[in-house]
Amino acid sequence: MRRMIISLFLLSGIIAFGVIGYHKVENMSIIDSLYMTIITISTVGFGEVKPLSVEGRIITMIIIGTWITIGAYTIGNLFRVLVEGELSKTFGRKKLEKQISKLKNHYIICGYGRIGKLICRELQNNDIDFVAIDNDPDAVEQMDKDRLLFIPKDATLEDVLMSAGLMQAKGIVTALRSDADNVFISLTARELRPDIYILARASDESSLLKLKRAGANRVDLPYAIGGKRMAQALVKPAVGDFLDFAVMEMDKNLGLGMEEVLIREHSNLVGKNLIQSNVRQDYGIIIVAIKKHTGEMTFNPVSTEVLYANDTLVILGKKEDLYRMKKKISS
């Protein structure tokens, strides 16, 4: 851009030189002077407004000689911008595709609207790999600006999901504006990968059952959740303030976080109750809930609660303690 600006500046300078030169030396009007300058630069060979004096011919030779240099510089810069821009897009796209092909256990986010953008931002903050898919021009521009791994195509197409690494992905999120598109993507993903986790977004409650029938493991209604949250702020303001603090401020100001830890079959915690496990004492964390292997959720579990393989602990504590515990138990 700097070179193109210089080119335009030089071009304007030579035009101004020609107009002023013909006007002063040959006593031509401004329009005639501009006409003479343009036909001299363009070398179209039209006739002169009037026979030129020696001084006028010298001005013409200066314009022609200068324009040859400036014109070559301008055309070279323009060609470079066009070619480099196309090459940059091509190689940039190839680079993204190569990075996407190497991903494993990542998430595929279909749709980069308001909901999809928030999901991607949260995954980025937690250093979790993902690929975003959206073919809306504004969304494509934003994904490129946000430096995401993305595919600027229609997420409802099977080959697009495959190019996003569906067979190696850990889960897929359908966050498109159309519930019908979300249903279609859920059906396609479930057919291609029966074991993949599918989180679907629904705009209307009538789509809940359809999405679950299509294979979605979980369906959320963002607008319904937002409405309930606003109503709670009116009916139970203290509860609302606590939830705001827990979600927004806890991580930022206190260095606290929430995490989930899966108890694997070979873990030494299997068969022990919470007292015997010593997780509270060893790591200084709070066990908020236990999602049992049966799917049942136990909130604020008692100390005699027995842990089994494939139970998931929902824990609260300092980030370093959470990381230390998760690393120890996972290993």
Query: What is the number of other CB atoms lying within 10 angstroms of the CB of residue 164?
Result: 28
What pTM was estimated for this model as a whole?
Answer: 0.60
Sheet holding 286-291, edge to edge: 256-262, 312-318, 286-291, 297-299
Highest mean pLDDT among 53-57, 66-70, 81-85: 53-57
Q: What is the DSSP string of 164-215?
A: TTGGG-SEEEE--S-HHHHHHHHHHHHHH-TT-EEEEE-SSGGGHHHHHHHT
Read off the pLDDT of each residue in 20-24 and give the average, rounded to a whole number: 88
Q: Which two tokens stand for residue 73?
A: 């510089």
**Burial class of residue 302 in the structure, from the number of CB atoms within 10 Å of its CB (0-12 exposed, 13-18 middle, 19+ buried):** exposed
- Please tell us whether the domain made up of 256-330 is placed in CATH 3.30.70.1450: yes
pLDDT band at 1 (very low <50, low <70, confident <90, very high): low
> 34 or 245: which carries more pLDDT confidence?
34
Q: Domain extents for the chain? A: 2-98, 104-225, 256-330
Q: Give alpha helix (H) positions in the chain.
A: 2-25, 30-42, 54-101, 114-125, 137-145, 158-163, 179-192, 208-214, 222-235, 237-244, 250-253, 274-277, 279-283, 319-330
- pLDDT tens readout for residues 158-192: 999 999 999 999 999 999 989 999 999 999 999 99
Comparing C-alpha atoms, which of 189, 210, 219 is closest to residue 115?
219
Please give the Cα distance from 132 to 117 (Å, whole number).
9
Q: How confident is the model at residue 194, as a pLDDT? A: 94
104-225 and 2-98 share a CATH fold? no
- Is residue 6 within 8 Å of residue 23, measured between CB atoms? no
pLDDT at 83 over 70: no
Please give the CATH number for the structural domain made up of 104-225.
3.40.50.720
- Please tell us whether the domain made up of 2-98 is placed in CATH 3.90.380.10: no
- pLDDT tens readout for residues 40-52: 887 776 777 788 8
Q: How confident is the model at residue 169, as a pLDDT? A: 95
- pLDDT tens readout for residues 9-18: 888 888 898 8
